[in-house]
Each structure stands twice: as C-alpha cells, then as structure tokens.
Homo-oligomer: A and B are copies of this chain.
Amino acid sequence: MLFRRIYQFLIVYSIGLISLLLIKTALSLSDYVIPGFGLILETFQEVFDTYFLDAMNTMSVTVLGQCVSIALAFGVGIAGRRSSWMGSFIKVTAYNIQAYPIVALAPIIFILLGDGFISRLLIASMICYFPLLLSVLGIMATPVEDIEHFYIITGRMRWQLEVKIRAFENLSKLTTVISGSATLAMAGTIVAEFIAANAGIGYSIRVALYQSDLAKILIALFLIGIIISIYQGCLETLGEQIKTRWSVSKGGNPR
C-alpha cells in the first residue's frame, strides 16, 4: 500500500516533469522559462537539505492542523446536523467563512491573533476542515433508521450515540475523506506559510517564486509529493486497520 503510493507518485511526478521538458524542447523555451534537466538536478543538490528540513517542518504543522480540522469538522458537523434553526445557522456561518478566500481573511486573522504559530495553524486548519465538514454533515444528517429505531422508541437516544451510529455505519466513507484530507491539510499549511510564516516549505516556495526560480519550485513540489504520499499511505493503512478491527462488513451482505 505504502510502497505502491510512493512509486505511483514517482510515476506521476516523472510524467509531469517529462511533459514540461517536452514543452520546453518543442517551443525551444530558454532555461529561465522552464529550467533544463541539468539545472534541475544541480538545484536539487543545492537546496535538497534545506528544503527537506523545511518540508518536515511543514509536515509537523500539517499533522497538527489536520487533527484540529478533524475536531473542528466533527464539532461543527455534529452541531449543524439538525435541520433546526440553530443547525442551519451554524451551517451558514461555517459555509460563509469558507467562501472567504484565506488571503482576504489573513489580514484580519493577523490583527486578531498576531502572526505566530497559532495563525499558521488556524489558516492550515481552516483550509483543511471545510471539505471534511461537508462529508461529516452529509453523514451526520442522514439517519440510519433500522439501527436508530430501537434507541429512539425506548428513549435511549443521546446525541453521542446518534453520532457514533452514523459514523460507524459510514466508516469507510469517513476514512476515505479523512485520509484524503491530509493533502488538504498540507496544502493549507503551505498556503499559511506562504502568507504568514517565517518557516516551512511554503515560505521557501514564496522566496523561490519571488526569484521566479521554477527549478526550486519543482524540487519543492517533489518533496511535498513524496512526503504527502508517505503520510497518506500511513493514514490509509491505519484506516484499513481500524476498519478491520471494528469489522465493518455491514448490512448489505446477503445472509
């Protein structure tokens, strides 16, 4: 699983790189528009060490940001699952904030929270949490009547139980979304670093952009890709284990 992810990523990346180089050759673009392979390799040796550390730094925020956004998504999703006024109000709030691109909110965030670690984490989580929220909302708002009936009619239903039932019944959907959202957490962290930070691979990308150095950007993309593949591979393996542990072969199976 994990190894498959990694070599599949390598294939994807190579295809991308080769296409770029082909375009370069076809249009005979100079090295400053699209860097040649030699230049990329050279740059790779030059910046690998720094970029690798930067990427690991980003990774640590990513993991934390993802945890925060999972918590956030479940919090909002659970609070907003009812079709009551309050539920819909929470949803409207969550949706609206999301519609505001982070670049527009960033100044306000910096005014309110300063530009430390917290802002970076907040921005990363905000980017990551919304897609999670959508799935969680969808799942939490759909009753599983043939399981819930008993608890409702005997007056035992509590919101915790309701959430547990619906989450469990949709475990494979949830693990798909959660492990998938790792990439969003990564992207979010990078964007946060891009506009806020003083560290991380996002910061390095900003500097490289400022220098219009595509070779460096390509190397950053490579590192991001490989790290996210590993992280996601791990998450998926974990997800599989949780699923088999909880043994979810559910309802539909002909008995």
Which A residues lie at the B interface, using CB under 8 A?
4-5, 8-9, 11-13, 20, 23, 33-34, 85, 88-89, 92-93, 95-96, 98-105, 107-108, 111-112, 130-131, 133-135, 137-139, 141-149, 170, 172-174, 176-177, 180-181, 183-184, 186-188, 190-191, 194, 202, 205-206, 209, 212, 214, 217, 220-221, 224-225, 228-229, 232, 251-254
Query: Do residues B131 and A100 form an inter-chain contact, with CB atoms below 8 A?
Result: no
Q: In the complex this chain forms, how many copies of it are found?
A: 2
A92/B9 contact (C-beta < 8 A), A99-B225, A177-B134, A180-B134 known: yes
**Complex interface: chain B residues within 8 A of A85 (CB):** 4
Alpha-carbon distance between A184 and B170 when the two chains are bound, in angstroms: 24
Query: Do residues A228 and B99 form an inter-chain contact, with CB atoms below 8 A?
Result: yes
Query: Do residues A100 and B224 form an inter-chain contact, with CB atoms below 8 A?
Result: yes
Alpha-carbon distance between A206 and B202 when the two chains are bound, in angstroms: 20
